[in-house]
Amino acid sequence: MTDAILLAADEPDPVCVLRADGTSDLFFTADHAGRQIPRRLDRLGVPESELMRHIAWDIGMRGVTERLSAAFDATAVIQTYSRLVIDCNRDPGVPSAMPEISEHTPIPGNVGLTDADKAARVAAIFTPYHERIAGLLDARAAAGRRTVYIAMHSFTPTFKGESRAMEIGVLYNRDARLASILLDLLRAEGDLTVGDNAPYAVSDLTDYGVPRHAEPRGLAYVEIEIRQDLIADATGEAAWAQRMARLLAAADARLKAASG
Ligand SMILES: [Zn+2]
C-alpha cells in the first residue's frame, strides 16, 4: 500500500460506542471484540477458518460486553477490526502489534510491512479507537464523574497445545484495588478456578488500555479474561454477563465503601 487510506467509505467504523451517555460509573472497553479485516488487506492472506479462531479476536466478548453495557446503562467502547490487523491492546511499536505468526498460524499479510503500511493501520484503526476512549474519559472527568475502567477480554481454552482449566482471570498492573475485591468475590462463588494475573499479567509492554488510559488518570480498574468456550454462544454470553453484572456491582459497592 502506498497511500494512507486503509478503510473505504463503506467499511465499518473502527469504533463502536454503546451508551456514550450511560449513567453508570462503570466504563467498559473490548479491544479485541471484532474480527473485521479491511478489504484492501485481502484477509491478510489467512484462510477464513483461521479467522474464526481466537487468534483473530476475543470470541464471545462482543456479546458479553453489550449485555454488561445494557445491564448497567454503562458506556462501552468496542473495537470492530481484528487484532491481526492491529492489536489495540499493544503499543503499535512492538512487533506483536501486527504479528507475522499468531500461535502457530502464519499471517502473510503482516510480513514485510513498511513504515507506511503500519502507519496506515495505526491511523485508520488504532488511533480513532484510543482517541475515542480518551475523549470519553476526559469528558467524564471534566464533568466530575467517577469512572471505573473495565477492560473485557477472553482467552482460548487451549494455547499451543496446553489446556487451561481456569474459567476466569483477573488482571491488574500497579493498582489492585478493584482486582483484589473481584478476586475475593469470584473465589467465594465456589465453583470457579480463578486466575490472579493469569493466564496473562498486565504490563506496560503487553497492554495498552490499562497503562495508557486507566492508570495515568488514577482510575480504579480491572482487566477481565473469560475462557472462550464458556461464552461461545448466546446462552453462555448471557449467563456470564449476568454473573459478571452481579459480581461487578458488588465489587464496585465494596470499592466505594473502602474509598469512603
Ligand atoms: Zn483480548
What's the CA gap between 183 and 195, in Å, rounded?
Answer: 8
Q: Ligand 1 centroid vs 70 CA: distance in angstroms?
A: 21
Q: Distance between CA 166 and CA 230 in Å, rounded?
A: 11
Copy the grid coordinates of residue 174: 500497579
What is the sign, positive or negative, of the torsion defined by CA atoms of 237, 242, 246, 248?
Answer: positive
Task: Identify the DSSP state of 257.
Answer: H
Ligand 1 centroid, distance to 6 Cα (angstroms): 23
The Cα–Cα gap between 45 and 30 comes to 25
The residue range of the domain holding 38 is 15-258
Around ion ligand 1, residues with a beta carbon closer than 5 Å are 32, 58, 153
Q: Each residue of 157-198: pLDDT tens digit?
A: 998 888 989 999 999 999 999 999 999 999 999 999 999 999
Looking at residue 5, its pLDDT comes to: 82
pLDDT at residue 160, rounded to an integer: 87
221 belongs to a structural domain: yes
Task: Say if 181 falls within a structural domain.
Answer: yes
Beta pairing, strands 162-163 & 194-196: unpaired
Residue 6 lies in a domain: no
**How remote is the CA of residue 259 from the centroid of ligand 1, in Å?**
29
Q: Which amino acid is at 30?
A: A
Measured CA to CA, the distance from residue 199 to residue 120 in angstroms comes to: 32
Is 143 part of a structural domain of the chain? yes
Gap from CA of 257 to ligand 1 centroid (Å):
30
Centre of ligand 1 to C-alpha 64, Å, is 13
- For residue 31, report the distance from its CA to the centre of ligand 1, in Å: 6
Cell 472462550 -> residue: 228
Residues 6+ apart with CB under 8 A from 94: 205
Task: Copy the grid coordinates of residue 120.
Answer: 496506515
Q: What is the pLDDT of residues 104-158, one digit of tens each?
A: 999 999 999 999 999 999 999 999 999 999 999 999 999 999 999 999 999 999 9
User: pLDDT tier at 32 (50, 70, 90 boundaries)?
Assistant: very high
When pLDDT is cut at 50, 70 and 90, the band that residue 2 belongs to is: very low
Instruction: Give me the sign of the Cα torsion angle 103, 109, 115, 118.
Output: negative
Find the 33 Cα to ligand 1 centroid distance in Å: 7
Q: In the chain, how many H helices and how many E strands?
A: 7, 11
Q: Report the alpha-carbon angle 139-242-220, nearest 5.
A: 35
pLDDT of 4 > 80? The answer is no
Report, as an integer, the average pLDDT of 228-243.
98
Structural domain count, the chain? 1
16 vs 34: CA distance, rounded Å: 10
Which of helix, strand or coil describes residue 42?
A: helix
Which whole number is the average pLDDT over 227-245?
A: 98
Residue 1's pLDDT band, with cuts at 50, 70 and 90, is very low
Domain membership flag for residue 8: no
% pLDDT > 90, the chain: 93
The enclosing domain of 201 has a CATH number of 3.40.630.40
**Is position 9 within any domain?**
no
Decide if pLDDT at 48 tops 60: yes
Q: Does residue 3 lie within any of the structural domains?
A: no
Q: Is residue 138 part of a domain?
A: yes
